[in-house]
Amino acid sequence: MKTFKILFSLMTLVLIALVAMSFSNPGTLTKLAALPDLRVSAIATPGGLCKGNESKVRVSITNSQSVGVSADVPVILFVSQSGEQPSSYVGYLKGGIGPNANSGQPVWFNNVVIPATNKTVTLKALVNPDGDIEESVQNNNTKVISAKVTKACGQATQPAQGATLTVTAYVGPWNNSNYTGLPQAAVTIVKSGQTYTGTTGSNGKATFPNLPAGQCNITVVKQGFQNGTKVFNMSTYNNNTNVAMAPN
């Protein structure tokens, strides 16, 4: 009983001391309890992934707490594809990370090996993998994304195949498919800085094969007529458009 009283008295003294410290310096207990909270906020693949050993991956790390980390922060990147041997890479956030770092600080992984094309890649990043840095929240240090691989490293991405645009220059009224075509008219199409030229046939039509999708500017010119102009949004499939021509 006497021992219990002594222990109780000691505990009371410790509690009184802590309360006194909190009144004299209210931030003391908060500082003692504050710890960083490291998280993987994003995984990015600038330039895309490619088969080979030239892919780049950027892992962004945040710390939402008011206490920073001065030591280097380790980050592990795991790379896997179905049916392929997985791989891992170790990187470091050099110099640690400051308090309230919510915008994300990057850790770069260069020369990442991707085994195959036409297979989805799973990228998993883990910050503070061994838990050597004490944190306020545990088990929230991982992020996983999936990315596509469509080419080999060093190989240019093939441009999308264009479609055919048929421009019909006509005079007079247009009634469904009944019209009067204007032959021998010069047709110019400007698309993304490229110029395409053609001449209408006896039916008033000029055809432009393999024209990329997107907005293009069409101009039709023939002596004795006012210039005909039109802005047309080319799609990925074959298109037709008509340009009315008025005599001078």
The residue-averaged pLDDT of 118-127 equals 94
Statement: residue 83 has pLDDT above 70: yes
Tens of pLDDT, residues 213-239:
889 999 999 999 999 999 999 988 899
Give one DSSP letter per residue of 80-128, joined into a string: EETTS--EEEEEEETT-B-TTEEEEEEEEEEEEEE--SSSPEEEEEEES
Statement: residue 60 has pLDDT above 70: yes
Statement: residue 17 has pLDDT above 60: no
Statement: residue 207 has pLDDT above 70: yes
- Percent of the chain at pLDDT > 90 equals 66
**Which is more confident, 177 or 91?**
91
So what's the pLDDT on residue 27? 46
* Rg value, the chain, Cα: 34
Q: For the chain, which residues make up each domain, given as ranges?
A: 35-152, 163-244
Tens of pLDDT, residues 130-178:
999 999 987 889 999 999 888 899 876 555 568 899 999 999 898 877 8
| Residue whose entry in the numeric block shows the structure tokens 């994304």 | 145
Class of domain 163-244: mainly beta
Query: pLDDT class for 6, splitting at 50, 70, 90?
Result: low
User: Of 32-36, 37-41, 67-71, 145-149, where does mean pLDDT reach its minimum?
Assistant: 32-36
Statement: residue 80 has pLDDT above 70: yes
So what's the pLDDT on residue 150? 80
Length of the chain: 248
In CATH, the number for domain 35-152 is 2.60.40.10
The reply to whether domains 35-152 and 163-244 share a CATH topology is yes
So what's the pLDDT on residue 106? 94
E strand or H helix at 31, and its extent? helix 27-33
Beta bridge partners of 239: 165
Residue 211: how many other CB atoms lie within 10 Å = 20
Statement: residue 54 has pLDDT above 50: yes
Statement: residue 119 has pLDDT above 80: yes
User: Is the entire prediction scored with pTM above 0.85?
Assistant: no
Per the CB < 8 A criterion, the answer to whether 218 and 243 are in contact is: yes
Tens of pLDDT, residues 174-188:
887 789 999 999 999
So what's the pLDDT on residue 141? 94
